[in-house]
Amino acid sequence: MAAVLTVAPASADTLRLLTWSNYAPQEVIEMFEAETGHTVEVTSSNNEEMIAKLRATGGSGFDLAQPSQDRIAGPQEEFGIYKPIDLSKIDTALFIPSMLEATKANTTVGGEVYGLPHVWGTNGLVLDRSMASSVKDYTDLCNDDVAGKVSYRLKRPTLIGFAYSMGMDPFAAYGDEAAYTEIMEKVEAKLIECKPNVKTYWGGGDELIGLMNSGEVVASMAWDFGGWKLNAENPDISFVAPASGALGWIDTFVLPAKGKADDAAYAWINFVMQPEIAAKITAAAGNFTASLGADAFADEDLKVRFQDSFPQEAIDNIKWYPPVPAGLETIEGGVLDRVKAAN
């Protein structure tokens, strides 16, 4: 009796998605599964965990991942955990052109593109404007009138934001460790000087929201969506783009090096970048996507908050995170440890 070989159709693939919380809402998953026949398994993660998981497995275990664009070129050069994007399988007309080109440029290694833009947002200031009217830039968190009522994270965005606010350009120094070290030393001194102003260093979004709602904190560095969430409850609180520029991030689509369901991954990318689908992800995640025209389908209140926080000049002044060269995390880690330990 002849053997019968059964080949599973592409529609039977399971997409193993390694992504951020709320980037794959259940409604969107169900719509995708119904339209394509693929199934989706979601693992929620963050940048550090994504890179660690893919490093540990050599890029296996997942078919699509979503690290920030500054976590692609370096890890690829060092660990080879991604595979190139086949742009012929992507409907590039679905993307905001400038954002697509910027992400392609920032994720190109050896002439190959490794990332596409998805969700984007910024770090900046979240203020109770009735209590922190003097705070216009990151270093204004050190002002006397907000002493004891300030919070921020001991993370890279705080270092970068303070550097820009102090008149330096840390991203321009990314390729020069000596110059970057000099900038970080100045930022370290400023953060230690500012430490008495800090009520606490917040660790999670829920913690910050509680601090702001209680009035314990009136000014903080935080993400834009956190400010917009607070604004929905208290109109005095909102996200403000700092005078020296909000810090822009883009979470991407990448293909892990040993993923087994590329067709399902490309199908997911093209599906979720459709404007009406992208608007559902914005509703769940709180941030806009690189989907061209998706803002037309966004919640009206969110659009109003976005426009209040980002007049055109503030958008033009966003400082987009570039890829992080090897060695800088060690410099930054030392600075953050010393600031935390300082009296």
Q: What is the pLDDT of residues 223-278, one digit of tens each?
A: 998 999 999 999 999 999 999 999 999 999 999 999 999 999 999 999 999 999 99
Partners of residue 125 on adjacent β-strands: 221, 240
pLDDT score recorded for residue 7: 36
Is 314 a member of any domain?
Answer: no
d(CA 51, CA 77): 13
d(CA 117, CA 251): 6
d(CA 336, CA 164): 17
In terms of domains, do 300 and 174 share one? no
d(CA 28, CA 198): 40
Q: What is the pTM for the complete model shown? A: 0.77
In terms of domains, do 109 and 127 share one? no
In terms of domains, do 134 and 237 share one? yes
Going by the DSSP 8-state scheme, the letter that residue 23 receives in this structure is S
pLDDT score recorded for residue 238: 94
Is 194 a member of any domain?
Answer: yes
pLDDT score recorded for residue 99: 86
In terms of domains, do 227 and 280 share one? no
d(CA 145, CA 123): 23
Is 253 a member of any domain?
Answer: yes
Distance between the two ends of the chain, CA-based, in angstroms?
Answer: 81
Provide the pairing of β-strand 112-113 with 108-109: antiparallel
In terms of domains, do 193 and 135 share one? yes
Boundaries of domain holding 66:
12-114+248-309
In terms of domains, do 217 and 233 share one? yes
Is 232 a member of any domain?
Answer: yes
Percent of the chain with pLDDT over 90: 80
The DSSP code sequence of 230-283 is: HHHH-TTEEEE--TT--EEEEEEEBEETT-S-HHHHHHHHHHHTSHHHHHHHHH
Is 62 a member of any domain?
Answer: yes
Say if CB 237 and CB 177 are below 8 A apart: no
pLDDT score recorded for residue 1: 38
In terms of domains, do 210 and 62 share one? no
d(CA 281, CA 23): 6
Among residues 220, 258, 257, 256, which one has the least CA distance to residue 237?
220
Mean predicted lDDT score pLDDT of the chain = 93
In terms of domains, do 232 and 330 share one? yes
Percent of the chain with pLDDT over 70: 97
Helices (H), 173-236: 177-194, 205-214, 224-233
In terms of domains, do 327 and 225 share one? yes
The enclosing domain of 102 has a CATH number of 3.40.190.10
Place of tokens 């993660």: 45
In terms of domains, do 139 and 279 share one? no
In terms of domains, do 72 and 197 share one? no
Sign of CA dihedral 10, 16, 20, 22: positive
Is 315 a member of any domain?
Answer: no
Cα torsion for 80, 101, 274, 16, to the nearest 10°?
Answer: 10
pLDDT score recorded for residue 272: 98
Longest dimension (CA), the chain: 87
- How many domains would you assign to the chain? 2
pLDDT score recorded for residue 12: 64
Q: For residue 268, what are its two tokens?
A: 């997911």
**Chunked mean pLDDT (size 10), the chain, 343 residues:** 38 88 97 96 95 96 96 92 98 92 92 97 96 97 98 96 98 94 98 97 91 97 92 95 95 98 97 97 92 90 88 85 85 96 90
Question: What is the Rg, in whole angstroms, of the alpha carbon atoms belonging to the chain?
Answer: 21
In terms of domains, do 56 and 95 share one? yes
